[in-house]
Amino acid sequence: MKEKIRDTATKLFLERGFKSITMDDIANEIGISKKTIYSEYSNKTELVEDCVMHKYCDMSEGIDLIIGMDENPIQELYEIKKYVLSHLNDEKTSPQFQLMKYYPKIHKNINSMHYNKMHKCVLSNIERGVQQEIYRDNLDSEFIARIYYSGLNSIKDQNIFQQNRFPVSKLMDSFLEYHLRGIVSPKGKKILNIIINSNQE
State the pLDDT at residue 45: 96
Q: What is the pLDDT of residue 43?
A: 96
The predicted structure's pLDDT at residue 136: 97
Q: How many CB atoms lie within 10 A of CB 66?
A: 19
User: According to DSSP H, which parts of 132-167 are helical?
Assistant: 141-154
Distances (CA, A) of 170 to 35, 155, 200, 201: 42, 11, 11, 14
Q: Percent of the chain having pLDDT more than 90?
A: 76
What pTM was computed for the model? Answer: 0.86
Give the integer Cα–Cα distance in Å for 103 and 22. Answer: 14
The answer to whether the Cα torsion of 162, 166, 169, 172 is positive or negative is negative
N-term to C-term CA, the chain: 43
45-200 topology per CATH: Tetracycline Repressor; domain 2 (1.10.357)
Residues with Cβ < 8 Å from 115, sequence gap 6 or more? Answer: 149
Q: Could you report the per-residue pLDDT of 40-98, keeping only the tens digit for each? A: 999 999 999 999 999 999 999 999 999 999 889 999 999 999 998 887 655 554 677 78
pLDDT at res. 98: 84
- Are 18 and 94 a contacting pair, CB within 8 Å? no
Count other Cβ atoms within 10 Å, centred on residue 172.
21
- Please tell me the predicted confidence (pLDDT) of residue 191: 96
pLDDT (average), residues 90-118: 84
Tell me if residue 184 falls in helix, strand or coil.
Answer: strand
pLDDT at 96: 75
Parse the chain into domains and list their residue ranges: 45-200
| Amino acid code (one letter) for 87 | H
